[in-house]
Amino acid sequence: MNEIYVFVLAIFVGFEVISKVPPLLHTPLMSGSNAISGITLVGALISSGAGHGGLGAVIGTLAVVCATINVVGGFLVTDRMLEMFKKKEK
Amino acid sequence: MQTLVNIAYLLAAVLFILGLKKLSSPKTARAGNLLAMIGMFLAVVVTLLDRQIVDFTYILIGVVVGSAIGTVSAMKVQMTAMPQMVALFNGFGGAASALVAFSEYEFSRPTSNQMEFSVILNIILSVLIGMVTFTGSFIAFAKLQRIMRGPPMVFAMQKPANALIFLAVIGLGTAMAWDPANNDFLLAILLLAGVLGVLAVIPIGGADMPVVISLLNSYSGLAASATGFVLHNNMLIISGALVGASGIILSRIMCKAMNRSLANVLFAAVGTDGGETAATGGAAETRRATEYTVEDAAMVLENAQSVIIVPGYGLAVAQAQHVLHEMEALLMKRGVNVRYAIHPVAGRMPGHMNVLLAEANVSYDLLFEMDAINDDFQNTDVALVIGANDVINPAARLKKESPLYGMPILNVDKAKSVMIVKRSLAAGFAGEDNDLFFDPKTMMVFGDAKKIVMELAHALKAA
């Protein structure tokens, strides 16, 4: 039940924080938040490395690959975009 | 030790929130992304120190392969292809959530014939949402990349088929709750969820993809949250919830900007993807549009005091952003006040047009969102429209029977004069003719966006 509390409160925090992001930055917001959702990597690491072997470990390793693509790709591409947003110095 | 791990996880979650918070301004945004990266790094390192992990071989292989693929794609991708890229990354995130839940089930299955119902429910939710995100995102990718046809694919009994699959998932889930030792049920759910993802996205038209990828973004977050419930990990739940909220907000904004309800986007199979080529002008047009040559157009622009540029996706297709920036700089040098007006659906995903213009070195303080600039059109000498159509069509305000009616548009028609760069007089995505083309104060400059803008810049340089 505690977890549901955490979930609901986090949704509210999300709405508060994200509604302040200007449309100018909506694409980086999407790719950046996307990278954050790759946090399942943490679970994947345990599945892959817990030494249980068998189907579970194979699936776990596959999950590590997928999650790492999501995390690394997402953060890098976001950084690439944000770097381009510049104000002209006068 | 466990307390330390939990504190580190909490810190990671806080860093994610702070990172997103810093996205509220382009000045701090890059630092914000860095904060989120640090949060992720912290979470990963702490997890690796966990004593549950005994074997690093597979982890290493997985991380190396994943980082290589992620890095290469992130560095190579063109900014115009960003929607596809985000869809793809999203899909991988969904897949990871589904797989983690599945492998967690595999580990706990043999020992317990009795599994708590809430645990089973969480596993099923995680697999279901994760797989729908995975296959749905790949279909969205294929449509955006034009590997797959853009127009909606519909077949008879599509909705009943989807409903049937959904019912089958519930049935299999119930079976799994009765017999948790048998992993066939979850495998079947995994496959069916994959099919559901495909079937849910193929009937959605290419032009509606901005909504779909926003929604899938939200799903990938919810999938991560569901996995957090499976693993009893609050950090996953928090991070997933943040992303879920973000996706929901973005989908809502996109729907509002397109004047559609979410249900309409998801189920109505609206829209062709042909753009100008598909839409014919309809009945023979008897009205005359005023055509301007590039030279005349350049003269009008340099004699203006204020110009608002309205870029549409046609601009990006023609790759004209860079020359446009060059032209804007030339006008600014002559003392013309130049700004850009960006409609929320100007690109192929939320905020896409801003990224494309930023790539062309357009200063971001010249980019104005619709609500911020709409009242200024009436005091503006020239509204220069390039590659946009539906988002400036006054029918959205006036014609009750038009499919565009009610859609928020840029008030281009309120400007003192309007200049439209376009290939032809054809209608836009919505198939609605644009009366603005025939307005006496409208100057039409026909041709390819890049070629015309280049010639305009040339003429301005020479003058």
Determine the residue among A37, A62, A80 to mutate to test chain B binding: the one whose Cβ has the most chain B Cβ atoms within 10 Å. A37
B223, B289: one domain: no
B330, B263: one domain: no
B chain contacts of residue A87, beta-carbon cutoff 8 Å: 26, 363-365
**Total domain count, chain A:** 1
Q: Where among B244, B267, B290 does a domain terminate?
A: B267
B5, B139: one domain: no
Look up the domain containing A50 and give its range.
24-83
Q: If you average pLDDT over residues B391-419, what whole number do you get?
A: 90
B367, B447: one domain: yes
Rounded Cα distance between B27 and A47, Å, is: 39
- Please tell me the predicted confidence (pLDDT) of residue B379: 95
* Residue A23 forms contact with B (CB below 8 Å): yes
* Cβ pair A69:B69 closer than 8 A: yes
Collapsing DSSP states into helix, strand and coil, what is residue B222? helix
- Judge contact between B354 and A27, C-beta under 8 A: yes
**B241 found inside a domain:** yes
- Please tell me the predicted confidence (pLDDT) of residue B111: 67
Q: Which residues contact A29 (CB under 8 A, 6 or more apart)?
A: A18, A21, B20, B23, B246, B250, B350, B351
- Rg, C-alpha atoms of chain A: 18
**CB nearest to B54's CB, from A30, A51, A83:** A51
B294, B414: one domain: yes
Task: Kindly report the nearest CA distance between residue A70 and chain B, in angstroms.
Answer: 5
Rounded Cα distance between B210 and B214, Å, is: 6
Q: If you average pLDDT over residues B229-251, what whole number do you get?
A: 94
Q: If you average pLDDT over residues B12-41, what whole number do you get?
A: 96
- Please tell me the predicted confidence (pLDDT) of residue B280: 44
- Judge contact between B359 and A86, C-beta under 8 A: no
More confident of the two residues B276 and B260: B260
B326, B222: one domain: no
B331, B369: one domain: yes
B263, B348: one domain: no
Each residue's pLDDT tens digit, B315-370? 988 899 999 999 999 999 999 999 999 999 888 899 999 999 999 999 999 999 99
For residue B99, which of A19, A69, A77 has the smallest C-alpha distance?
A: A69
| ipTM for the predicted complex | 0.96
Q: Which residue of A has its CA nearest to B53?
A: A50
**A46 found inside a domain:** yes
pTM: 0.91
**A78 found inside a domain:** yes
Rounded Cα distance between B155 and B157, Å, is: 6
B308, B442: one domain: yes
* Cβ pair B74:A40 closer than 8 A: no
Q: Where among B241, B267, B293 does a domain terminate?
A: B267
**Total domain count, chain B:** 3
* Cβ pair B363:A72 closer than 8 A: no
**A75 found inside a domain:** yes
**CB nearest to A32's CB, from B36, B69, B249:** B36
**A41 found inside a domain:** yes
B57, B84: one domain: no
B251, B298: one domain: no
Which H or E element spans position B140? Answer: helix B117-144
Which tokens hold the place of B397? 């305000």
CATH no. for residue B364?
3.40.50.1220
Look up the domain containing B146 and give its range.
77-267
**A37 found inside a domain:** yes
Choosing from B208, B390, B413, B439, which is the catalytic residue?
Answer: B390
Task: Kindly report the nearest CA distance between residue A50 and chain B, in angstroms.
Answer: 4
- Per mean pLDDT, which range of A86-90, B269-273, B326-330, B334-338 is the poorest? B269-273
**B273 found inside a domain:** no
**CB nearest to B44's CB, from A28, A34, A42:** A42
Determine the residue among A36, A82, A87 to mutate to test chain B binding: the one whose Cβ has the most chain B Cβ atoms within 10 Å. A36
**B276 found inside a domain:** no
Determine the residue among B48, B125, B355 to mutate to test chain A binding: the one whose Cβ has the most chain A Cβ atoms within 10 Å. B355
**CB nearest to B96's CB, from A22, A41, A79:** A41
Per-chain mean pLDDT for chain B: 90
A chain contacts of residue B243, beta-carbon cutoff 8 Å: 14, 33-34, 36-37
Task: Kindly report the nearest CA distance between residue B4 and chain A, in angstroms.
Answer: 16
- Judge contact between A48 and A57, C-beta under 8 A: yes
B94, B63: one domain: no
Each residue's pLDDT tens digit, B121-153? 999 999 999 999 999 999 999 998 888 877 777
